[in-house]
Amino acid sequence: MDQLELSLRLQTIADYVPEGSRMADIGSDHALLPVVLAAAGRIAHAVAGEVNEGPYQSALRQVRKRGLESLISVRRGDGLTVLERGEADVIVIAGMGGALICRILEEGKDRLEGVRRLVLQPNVAEDQVRRWLKENGWMLVNESIVEEDGHFYEIMAAAREAEGKKHGDSLYGELKLPCGLVLKEDMLLKFGPLLVRSPNPVFLRKWTLEADKLEKICKQIEQSAAESARSRLHSLREEVRQIREVTQCLQVDKR
Ligand code: SAM
pLDDT digits 0-9 by tens, 142-166? 999 999 999 999 999 999 987 556 6
- Its pTM stands at 0.95
For residue 231, the model assigns a pLDDT of 76
- Kindly state the average pLDDT of the residues 56-69: 98
- Kindly state the average pLDDT of the residues 230-247: 92
- Kindly state the average pLDDT of the residues 211-215: 97
For residue 165, the model assigns a pLDDT of 61
The alpha carbon of 164 and the centre of ligand 1 are apart by a number of angstroms equal to 34
What average pLDDT does the chain have?
94
Instruction: Using a pLDDT cut of 70, give the percent of the chain over it.
Output: 95
Mutate to test the pocket of ligand 1, among 12, 25, 50 (most ligand atoms within 8 A of CB): 50
Phi/psi for 89 (5° steps) reads -110, -10
- Ligand 1 atom nearest the C-alpha of 55 is 14
Confidence of residue 255 (pLDDT cuts 50, 70, 90): low
Ligand 1 atom 26, closest CA: 27
Confidence of residue 186 (pLDDT cuts 50, 70, 90): very high
Reply yes or no on whether the pLDDT at 103 is more than 60. Answer: yes
For residue 243, the model assigns a pLDDT of 97
Reply yes or no on whether the pLDDT at 228 is more than 80. Answer: no
For residue 44, the model assigns a pLDDT of 98
Residues with CB under 6 A from ligand 1: 10, 26-29, 49-52, 55, 78-79, 94-96, 100, 104
Choice between 169 and 111, residue whose per-residue pLDDT is larger:
111
For residue 227, the model assigns a pLDDT of 75
Reply yes or no on whether the pLDDT at 47 is more than 70. Answer: yes
The alpha carbon of 27 and the centre of ligand 1 are apart by a number of angstroms equal to 3
CB atoms near residue 84 (< 10 Å)? 8
Reply yes or no on whether the pLDDT at 199 is more than 90. Answer: yes
Confidence of residue 23 (pLDDT cuts 50, 70, 90): very high
Reply yes or no on whether the pLDDT at 202 is more than 90. Answer: yes
The alpha carbon of 216 and the centre of ligand 1 are apart by a number of angstroms equal to 32
Reply yes or no on whether the pLDDT at 174 is more than 70. Answer: yes
Reply yes or no on whether the pLDDT at 21 is more than 90. Answer: yes
